[in-house]
Structures are given as structure tokens and as C-alpha cells.
Amino acid sequence: MRSLAHVIAVCEAAGLAFLLAAADSTGDRLLAVWLGVTLAVGWLIASRLPRHPIGWLLLGVSGLFLFAVLAGAAGNALAETQPGLAAWLLWYARDDDLSWIWLPALGLMFIHVLLRFPDGRLPSPRWRWFSRLTIGLLAAGVALIAMGAGDVAPGLRNPTEVPWVREREWLFAFVGIPLIASLPVSVASLVVRYRRADDLERTQIRWFAWAAGLATGLYLLSLLGADDVWQSWTFLAYTLVPASIGVAILRYRLFAIDRIISRTLAYALVTASVVGTYALVVTSISRLLPVSSALAVATATLAAAAVFRPVLRRVQGVVDRRFNRERYDAERVVEAFGARLRGATDPDAAAADLVAAVGRALQPGAVGLWVRGGAR
């Protein structure tokens, strides 16, 4: 199984190299980055945990696109000498609106990875029917798109074309609507798993939820008409989703997620507050003094700078109490110890307070204090 993962990864890496060499736009390069991260995470999981299905699912997601790059190159090269084989290769690798490979890729990523994250098993046997139903829907969707598509290239007909399928577009509703409805059901399965999970599994799920939430939030903001640079950062945020899956399953620095979530939320809320203050001041002064735009900008900048630190402290404290409780409790213990130490005169009492503070803040298996004359 590990050898198979290595072989698949090497073949996909060749497709990734072709994609990077042919990339002539920012979108193609960003897609290559996302596919490269997905490939790397899938290979790491499949090679280290070969019985874990998510590694193979991620390799399948990246492979659907990267093998298409290789198939497209081969199909174009064989179009004149072997049109029959070239038609099948280009049928798989077509990159127009009638391409079908995006459907199973999205289905694997947003349905079946969610259903099996993080331990590789369904939440319970009762979810088997849903898993099988979505597999059937994905297969039916691929068949309908492939059979309804036209020529795969100029002069090369679609080898799976069925004309009556294209004439009956209502058939896609019987597949598309249930597939769209299955996405929130897959998310609900993760919520159900979280409620039943232990501390370790909840931490793994929080990693995925943080990355997916950040990517979704940036995507929604990009819909407001942001420029290409903002949309590029949004697309790069998508790479956090497979990366978070790798961190969660391989358990690399796993328990830092609460601090990451608290910092993300805190700075997002503070940024929104500062931007809101800036916009409010600029709007207000511009209406009162429409000819003094420079004054409005200067005043708004000063107001935003003035509220930044107080808002950051307040928001950070609120967020830490909810999402980074261990750090918040540790800070409370340290502050209380410092207050007692300032009024203490007995070294023995101070040493006992120090040992107690370390024990409550860090909760180690054992605590010892070495001083001159022996250990406490």
C-alpha cells in the first residue's frame, strides 16, 4: 500500500510539473498550489497510515485534475495519428464547460472526506446508506455530463455521447439537487461526531473547522467585489483546508489550535472594528465638511489608531475566555501569584505559592523547586 502511494504521488507530481510549466495566468498557478498541497497531504497520510481512507481520497482529488493534465498532453500529441485513443484521452482531460472531473473531485472533498474525518470511519453504521447514495449520485452525475457533452476537440467526437441525454436537461435536476442537499448533511455529520468525540478528536475537528471557516469567510468577502489580489489570498486560503487535514490526522502540533482560533477571531473582530471606525469617521466628516477630504482621512486615521489597542485587549480577553481557556486561566493564576508575591515577606510562603501557581497553570505530573539547602 505504501509503495502504491509513492507511485501515485510520483505520477501526480509529473502532472503538477506539466501544469506549472503551462500555467499562463494567476488562476492556473493558484490551482497548482492547491493541488500541490492536496497531493502532498494525501501522500503523507497514505504513506504513513495506509489504512486511513482520507489519504487516498485526497490523492484521488488531486489525481483527477493532475492526471487530466497528462492525458491532455498525450491526447493532443496523438490527435492526428491515433484519433480514437486521442478522443478518449481528451474526453477525460477536456477543460471546457463540459468537463466532468470537477464533480467527483468536489464530491470526494466536501462529502466523503467530511464523513470520514478524522478517524477514517463513518460516524456510525447508520450513515452507510448516505455514503452509498452520494457515491451513486456522483456516478450518475458524471455519466450524465459525459454522455451529454459534445465534441471533445475539433474533429474528435465524444466517445460516450448520447444525444437524447443532452435533449433532456431536466435529468440533471434529479442528480444535482440531491447532491447539493448532501453538502449540509455532510457538515451535520461532523457536528454529530464533534458532540460525541473525546478531547483529542474534538481538537482534530477544530483544526478542520478553523481552516474551512477561514476559507469560507474570505470567499464570502471576495464576493463583495474585491480586487484580484484579495481573491488570490482567498484562493490561497483554500490550501489551508487540506493542510489542516494533514495536521489533524498526523497530529503535528495539534494542540495549538485553540490559540490559533483565538488569534484569528480576535484580529478579525479588531480589524472589523477599526475599519468600521475609520469608515464612520470619514463618512461623518465628509458630510459635515464635504470640501475637506484630507481632514476626514487624517481624523479617521487617528481615531482608528486610538481604538486599536483598547479594542484588541478587550476582544482578546473575551475570545480567550471562550476559545483559549487554558491560556486565560494560566494568566489569571500568574497574575494572582504576582499580587501575593508583592505583599509576601516569608520566602517559604513565596516558594509554596510558586509551586502551587505552576501546578495550577501548567498542570505537570510533578513539580519541584530547588533552592540552596535542598529541594521543596
Burial per residue of 27-40, b for 16 or more beta-carbon CB atoms within 10 angstroms, e otherwise? eeebbbbbbbbbbb
DSSP SS3 for 153: strand
Per-range mean pLDDT, top range of 221-230, 238-247, 326-335: 238-247
pLDDT of residue 375: 47
Per-range mean pLDDT, top range of 18-32, 116-130, 168-182: 116-130
pTM for this prediction: 0.74
CA 359 to mean position of chain CA atoms: 36
Least reliable range by pLDDT among 124-138, 200-214, 225-239: 225-239
Helices (H), the chain: 2-22, 26-48, 53-78, 83-93, 102-107, 113-116, 128-148, 163-167, 171-196, 199-222, 228-238, 240-250, 257-288, 293-323, 325-342, 347-362
Dihedral pair phi/psi, residue 371, rounded to 5°: -135, 170
Distance (Å, whole) CA 353 – CA 270: 36
pLDDT of residue 156: 83
Beta bridge mates, 375:
370
Say what the alpha-carbon torsion angle 147, 151, 152, 157 is, to the nearest 10 degrees. 90
Does residue 351 surpass a pLDDT of 70?
no
